[in-house]
Amino acid sequence: MGKKFKTRYQIPFYESDVNHNVKLPHILSVALQIASDQSVSLGLGDERIFKDYNLVWVVSEHEVTIDRLPRFNEIVEIETEPISYNRYFCYREFRIYDQNGEKLVDIFSTFVLMDYDTRRVHDVPEDLVAPYESEKIRKILRGPKYKALEKATDTLYHVRYFDLDINGHVNNSRYLEWMYDVLDFNFLKAYTPKKINLKYVKEVQYGSDIESRLEQDGLITKHEITSNGYVNAQAITQWEKI
Amino acid sequence: MGKKFKTRYQIPFYESDVNHNVKLPHILSVALQIASDQSVSLGLGDERIFKDYNLVWVVSEHEVTIDRLPRFNEIVEIETEPISYNRYFCYREFRIYDQNGEKLVDIFSTFVLMDYDTRRVHDVPEDLVAPYESEKIRKILRGPKYKALEKATDTLYHVRYFDLDINGHVNNSRYLEWMYDVLDFNFLKAYTPKKINLKYVKEVQYGSDIESRLEQDGLITKHEITSNGYVNAQAITQWEKI
């Protein structure tokens, strides 16, 4: 098991939804920020690995398990731990606890290192991951199979200026915003996500229009983000009545 | 002069733009959060004034003056001070300082108290504002005249689920997002806002489509958000080459 890193976080007003819960995409943004903060604390910030290795971290998949979402104004503790890695993938867990130490949310995330010039996945350098003290494994941990959606409804979105990050890429959290925005308002008011599997396949480009595609089967929703004939992201969510 | 309240804030990755500056709408969100934190610290949080007075705080106008925008990862100090009030309006200033104590941004904001049932502006109760120790004035401080736009280009936006706050209202920061998103990408990369006047006229309703209207005259941009034949918000921005 790897080196843990913790921070306290209070859910702000502007990131709380109509159910008084944190907006789920925000939790993913905060998690990635904390992973980055840990890297900086170990002397392995993004600038350093770009300069020394010409590599950038890219998240490829999340599995989010929710007991209950943190609520508006609630102070939570967010812990992250680099769990293991193999030749190409690094696995990291995030755990969100309430003030009584009860676990609210668990996020299991898969990262790869991409070569900045070739845009291809690069082998994980041993000296780069050593300070995290995570376990080297041979096994590749796989998420669920995301089947192509065949009877989906499509909704068009335009990529906006404020969707972009400092590198000109679409923020990871936007994909989930597009996915959930197509759900019916009354459904979102009455149901809460319990488990989300989310896979990033191919980056959306600025200036593109994207389709947010939805298939809903009772308490399971299946999502695709597509643009220019490609699948950019896929997700499966299990919901529960509030 | 009123009671000051300060907090430190580090600009997160997910709220930084392609120029490595904080996204301007985010600064307005954080400012309102800090005003609310001060109210809570004085025992005058939103829940209390709703319960005791049936009132809610509504921001009606901002004047933002920018020396430079806080940058990605920068730690800033944000100070707020309730300056003065008259029969209907409360004036509050926000000041953002860098680590050397240099002022980066100044926001002068106007608030009103709205009766929750009648949705009308309510007189400011003396006992409610007393703890802030701001000055009582007779004068009404007015922002600029925002003339109706006559030769504007219009761009359509749909109000999204995650645009809504815990009360089901569109987040204040979204108006500025819609206003700036219609500007040309190359303009936003090459120019930075120096002064923004922003006025909230009428709340946008969920389910509405809105028009983001723009008139650009060199380094001055004029903006309107309209829906269903009404003006919802107006702004004037002065820009400067980066």
Q: Reduced to 3 states, what is the DSSP secondary structure of residue B227? A: strand
Q: From the list A16, A29, A188, which residue is nearest B166 (CB)?
A: A16
Q: Which residue of A has its CA nearest to B29?
A: A14
Residue matched to tokens 């209202």 = B169
> A184: nearest CA in chain B?
B161
pLDDT at B51 over 90: yes
pLDDT of B208 above 90: no
* Structure ipTM: 0.94
pLDDT digits (tens, 9 = 90+) for B70-119: 999 999 999 999 999 999 999 999 999 999 999 999 999 999 999 999 98
CATH classification number, B3-134, choose in 3.40.50.1820, 3.10.129.10, 3.40.50.720, 3.30.750.200: 3.10.129.10
pLDDT at B205 over 90: no
> In chain A, which residues have pLDDT < 70?
none
Q: How confident is the model at residue B206 (pLDDT cuts 50, 70, 90)?
A: confident
What distance in Å separates residue A115's CA from the closest CA in chain B? 20
Residue B165 is nearest to which of A16, A162, A173, comparing CB atoms?
A16
Give chain A positions within 8 Å (CB) of B188. Answer: 161
Enumerate the residues of chain B whose CB falls inside 8 A of the CB of residue A210: none
Map out the domains of chain A as residue ranges: 3-134, 151-239
Identify which of A12, A33, A168 has the shortest CB distance to residue B14. Answer: A33
Q: What is the pLDDT of residue B53?
A: 96
| Cβ proximity of B112 and B151 under 8 Å | no
A185 to B162: CB separation less than 8 angstroms, yes or no: no
Once rounded to an integer, what is the mean pLDDT over residues B199-208?
92
pLDDT of residue B207: 84
Mean pLDDT calculated for residue range B1-13:
96
Mind telling me how many Å the CA of B76 is from chain A's nearest CA? 17
* Substitution target from A7, A8, A11, A13 for chain B, most B beta carbons within 10 A: A13
CA torsion through residues B162, B165, B169, B171, sign: negative
> How close, in Å, is residue B158 to chain A by CA atoms?
9
Three-class secondary structure assignment of chain A: CCCCEEEEEECCHHHECCCCEECHHHHHHHHHHHHHHHHHHCCCCHHHHHHHHCEEEEEEEEEEEECCCCECCCEEEEEEEEEEECCCCEEEEEEEECCCCCEEEEEEEEEEEEECCCCCEECCCHHHHHHHCCEECCCCCCCCCCCCCCCCEEEEEECCHHHECCCCCECHHHHHHHHHHCCCHHHHHHEEEEEEEEEECCCCCCCCEEEEEEEEECCEEEEEEEECCEEEEEEEEEEEEC
Residue of A13, A162, A188 lying closest to B25 (CB–CB): A162
pLDDT tens, residue by residue, B58-71: 999 999 999 999 99
Which pLDDT value is given to residue A205? 87
Within this chain, domains A3-134 and A151-239 share the same CATH topology: yes
Contacts of A11 in chain B (CB under 8 A): none
Token output for B65: 């003056």
pLDDT digits (tens, 9 = 90+) for B177-202: 999 999 999 999 999 999 999 999 99
Architecture of domain B151-239: Roll (3.10)
List A56's β-bridge partners, or say none. Answer: A114
Residue of B14, B171, B207 lying closest to A173 (CB–CB): B14
Report how far residue B193's alpha carbon sits from residue A82's, in angstroms, rounded to the nearest whole number: 40
